[in-house]
């Protein structure tokens, strides 16, 4: 009996030492001989191929109005770029975990999972000449770094906006109420993002309408808050919602008049605005604030083409590539240089998208993954998990 106690005590002490020892390192580069998996000490020769998981619109080759930042990259580096578009972040995680890709552009609700699971590697930013110029507000954030080490480079950030057809919705809405309460004009024609992460948007509406629920973070919801959100979503669904998985479906819906109001990214408004036969649409960031996303290019730990991936990451932080990409998508650029370039193709772009206005981003809730421990200091709170979110969404959509 005594011997067991002693052994147990030793084991507990050993564990404590190990746990404490791990968290003291603060340097950006890994110390000592122990390099994390996927770490690149120096850039080698380009491998000739690059397989990426992207959000649609993040790797354009000139099919649309001459926006092209892929062909110049291929010509310069010799890395042939193959892309697969993900439908939502959950899909993106799955794709990366399949082991067939070198990396991708991930939003916060994917990136944290990938970093935790060790599927993506920390990035040696000393090898990336364009990294220094990136806005400091995008560096070393919770969604793109772990233990003080950057795990990727920013592509851009943006909010989820409210969009409406100006012919049908004649008074410009200023609040999300328009999609939650419904009106005769819009019922049956509401466009909502088809992903479990949208539950957070319901939570944001509840934060404004039902403060007694005490929601502090729309991505970390306890039993009661979650139930209220689902209830709200069911009411919305019953108003008549058409959920969009691919942005092309939303654009087609607005163009044909099947959709008149909904949640969107600036990108779709741009596409609709660019087509003279489509109805006129407007977007707004509602008063309650919104969910948003900050996307990061990350490299898979087991990437087959790490050098090409590093070259790509550097390329996407360059002024021309980032300027073009962010103007195309309607999102905020990641550096002053990119903003200057963006001015030449779309004057006022950086102003409009609040690229360097950090105060603006305070009101945006970046996508992140729901965690059981609620991602807060209070050990007593438990929240719904990612699994719960996905299952609830499946139930909502299946009925």
Which one of residues 38, 40, 46, 51 is an interface residue with other proteins (CB under 8 A)? Answer: 51
Residue 199 has which token pair? Answer: 């539950």
Q: Which is nearer to other proteins, 53 or 339 (CB)?
A: 53
Binders of other proteins among residues 62 to 81 (CB under 8 A) are 63-64, 80
Provide the mask over 323-362, with x wherever binding to other proteins is found by CB under 8 A and - wherever it is not: ----------------------------------------
The least CB distance from residue 37 to other proteins, in Å, is: 15
Nearest to 227 by CA among 199, 266, 262: 199
Question: DSSP 3-state helix, strand, coil percentages of the chain (rounded to 5)?
Answer: 40, 20, 40
Pick the piece of the chain touching other proteins (CB under 8 A) from 9-17, 37-45, 235-243, 335-343: 235-243
| Candidate list 256, 344, 363, 382; residue touching other proteins; CB under 8 A | 256
Stretch that binds other proteins, among 20-28, 50-58, 165-173, 306-314 (CB under 8 A): 50-58
Task: Name the E strands within the chain.
Answer: 49-54, 80-85, 103-106, 145-146, 149-150, 153-159, 161-165, 190-193, 241-244, 261-264, 281-284, 290-299, 364-366
The whole-angstrom separation of Cα 313 and Cα 126 is: 12
Instruction: For residue 43, state whether it binds other proteins (rule: CB under 8 A).
Output: no
- Record the tokens describing residue 284, joined without a space: 């707004």
Q: How far is it, in rounded angstroms, from Cα 166 to Cα 281?
A: 6
C-alpha 264/C-alpha 192 separation (Å) is 8
- What does the per-residue mask of binding to other proteins show for 356-395, with x meaning CB under 8 A? -------------x-xx------------xxx--xx--xx
Contact pick of 10, 37, 117, 132 for other proteins (by CB under 8 A): 117
Q: Residue 83 interacts with other proteins (CB under 8 A)?
A: yes
Distance CA 20, CA 31 (A): 17
- How would DSSP label each residue in 127-146? G-TTGGGB-GGGSS-TTTEE
Q: What 3-state class would DSSP assign to 324? A: helix
- Of the pair 114, 321, the CB lying nearest other proteins is at 114
The interface region with other proteins, picked from 6-14, 48-56, 123-131, 166-174 by CB under 8 A, is: 48-56
Asked if 245 contacts 88 with a C-beta cutoff of 8 angstroms, the reply is: yes
**8 Å CB contact between 263 and 160:** yes
Q: Residue 226, interface with other proteins (CB under 8 A)?
A: no
Binding other proteins (rule: CB under 8 A), the pick from 6, 214, 240, 347 is: 240
Choices 22-30, 33-41, 85-93, 319-327; region in contact with other proteins by CB under 8 A: 85-93
Nearer to other proteins, 130 or 236 (CB): 236
Q: Which residue has the tokens 């408004």?
A: 269
Sites of contact with other proteins (CB under 8 A): 49, 51-52, 56-57, 63-64, 80, 82-85, 87-88, 90-91, 93-94, 97-101, 113-114, 116-117, 119, 188, 196, 240-243, 245-249, 251-253, 255-258, 271, 275-278, 369, 371-372, 385-387, 390-391, 394-395, 397-399
């Amino acid at each position: 009996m005594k011997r067991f106690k002693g052994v147990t005590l030793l084991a507990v002490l050993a564990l404590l030492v190990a746990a404490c020892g791990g968290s003291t390192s603060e340097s950006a580069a890994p110390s000592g001989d122990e390099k994390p998996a996927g770490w690149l000490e120096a850039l080698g020769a380009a491998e000739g191929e690059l397989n990426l998981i992207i959000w649609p619109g993040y790797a354009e080759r000139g099919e649309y109005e001459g926006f092209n930042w892929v062909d110049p990259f291929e010509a310069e580096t010799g890395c042939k770029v193959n892309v697969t578009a993900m439908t939502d972040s959950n899909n993106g995680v799955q794709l990366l975990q399949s082991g067939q890709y070198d990396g991708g552009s991930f939003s916060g609700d994917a990136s944290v999972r990938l970093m935790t699971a060790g599927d993506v590697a920390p990035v040696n930013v000393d090898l990336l000449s364009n990294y220094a110029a990136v806005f400091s507000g995008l560096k070393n954030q919770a969604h793109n770094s772990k233990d003080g080490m950057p795990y990727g480079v920013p592509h851009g950030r943006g909010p989820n906006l409210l969009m409406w057809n100006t012919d049908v919705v004649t008074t410009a809405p200023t609040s999300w109420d328009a999609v939650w309460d419904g009106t005769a004009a819009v019922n049956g024609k509401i466009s909502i993002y088809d992903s479990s992460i949208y539950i957070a948007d319901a939570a944001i509406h509840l934060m404004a309408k039902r403060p007694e629920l005490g929601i502090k973070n729309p991505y970390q919801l306890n039993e009661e808050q979650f139930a209220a959100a689902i209830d709200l979503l069911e009411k919305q669904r019953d108003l008549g919602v058409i959920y969009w998985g691919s942005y092309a479906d939303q654009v087609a819906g607005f163009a044909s008049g099947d959709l008149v109001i909904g949640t969107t990214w600036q990108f779709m408004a741009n596409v609709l605005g660019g087509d003279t036969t489509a109805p006129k649409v407007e977007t707004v960031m509602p008063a309650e604030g919104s969910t948003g996303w900050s996307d990061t290019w990350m490299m898979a730990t087991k990437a087959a083409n790490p050098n090409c991936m590093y070259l790509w990451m550097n390329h996407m932080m360059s002024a021309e590539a980032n300027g073009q990409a962010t103007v195309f998508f309607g999102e905020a650029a990641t550096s002053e240089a990119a903003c200057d370039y963006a001015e030449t193709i779309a004057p006022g772009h950086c102003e409009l998208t609040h690229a360097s206005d950090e105060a603006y981003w305070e009101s945006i809730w970046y996508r992140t993954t729901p965690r059981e421990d609620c991602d807060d200091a209070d050990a007593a709170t438990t929240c719904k998990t990612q699994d719960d979110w996905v299952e609830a969404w499946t139930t909502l959509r299946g009925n």
